Amino acid sequence: MELLIEKELNSDDKILKPDFNSKTGREFLAFYLQTKFKQILAYDKRCEHPVFKEVNPTFINRFTKRLINNPSKRFLIGISGESASGKSTICNEIKNTIEQLSMPVSVLSTDNYFNDISDLIKQYGSFDNLRDNGYDIDAPESFQLDLLKLDLEKLAHGIDIKAPKYVPNGTGVSIPEAIDIRSDKIIVVEGIATMYKDVKDVFDVKIYIETNSDIRRNRIIKRAVSERNQDEANALKHWQYLLAAGEKYVKPCRQDADFVLDGNSNLHYLDQILEYIHAVTNNFQ
């Protein structure tokens, strides 16, 4: 990938930059991006550890059509996947790379849209007791999906929002309008709720992260013991819940993804792909 970037930047055969404010200019950019993206996929297939596990065959045409017909809309990327698949890590990597390319980017976690369940936790004595009595925290009904979709639509059209904040300390408290989120040019949203119901329809790019269950299990246990002060037995119990919830609610969303990415892929390689996309879209005469 470094060779592709270097070749692009050092090439003397550059194209005259079109007027992207005109539909004709945007149509040219769309055709150009289709060609370059096919090059990326062809290169990735030849790699020893490819990052793209699956690509929706309709994505390129849908995405380029959006660029042509609605250029003023903010660019929304949704990242989903089962618990501990690496969603937050990849989200932050994308954000950092975009910032290094001097482009404005905002990040939002859908975990902040969990329902307030503080009264239920008080009733049952603890979150674990509530879960053990059948409360399904990863179910779509456990999220403020209507509010999430409304906020995403506002961001997509250039309106800043105040997102809720779910406090991850076992109290189940959700604080309304607690987090300021700017409607930047690029908005990266991560969490299992990104592809729940019609929330998924707001995104320009839908990414599903897929990671081996043994790796996810180890991450869950390590996180529970070292960061949340839980004992290993309870962490294993929660892992069994997450495994079942993932099969029921999250895995079906995989079919709606534009890209299925390998959660164990090299993050530096992912950075290079983003750098190459930036190079080909900005490297004109």
**How many Å from the N-terminal Cα to the C-terminal Cα in the chain?**
22
d(CA 39, CA 44): 9
Instruction: Calculate mean pLDDT across residues 101-129.
Output: 94
Tens digit of each residue's pLDDT (9 = 90 or more) over 201-254: 999 999 999 999 999 999 888 887 766 667 788 888 889 999 999 999 999 999
Domain boundaries in the chain?
Answer: 1-51+267-285, 52-264
Q: For residue 111, what are the contacts with CB-CB under 8 A and spacing of at least 6?
A: 166, 168, 191, 193
Residue 3: pLDDT band by 50, 70, 90 thresholds? Answer: low
Other residues' Cβ atoms within 10 Å of the Cβ of residue 181: 19
Sequence letter at residue 163: A
Backbone angles phi, psi at 91, to 5 degrees: -60, -50
Backbone angles phi, psi at 12, to 5 degrees: -90, -10
Higher pLDDT, 106 or 225: 106
Higher pLDDT, 36 or 150: 150
d(CA 80, CA 254): 8
- Looking at the DSSP bridge assignments, the partners of residue 161 are 181
Residue 283: pLDDT band by 50, 70, 90 thresholds? Answer: low
pLDDT at 122 (0 to 100): 95
User: CATH class for domain 52-264?
Assistant: alpha beta
pTM of the model: 0.90
d(CA 224, CA 146): 30
Is the pLDDT at 71 greater than 60? The verdict is: yes
What residue has token string 């690029």? 186
Tens digit of each residue's pLDDT (9 = 90 or more) over 15-43: 666 677 888 888 887 888 888 888 888 88
d(CA 110, CA 259): 19
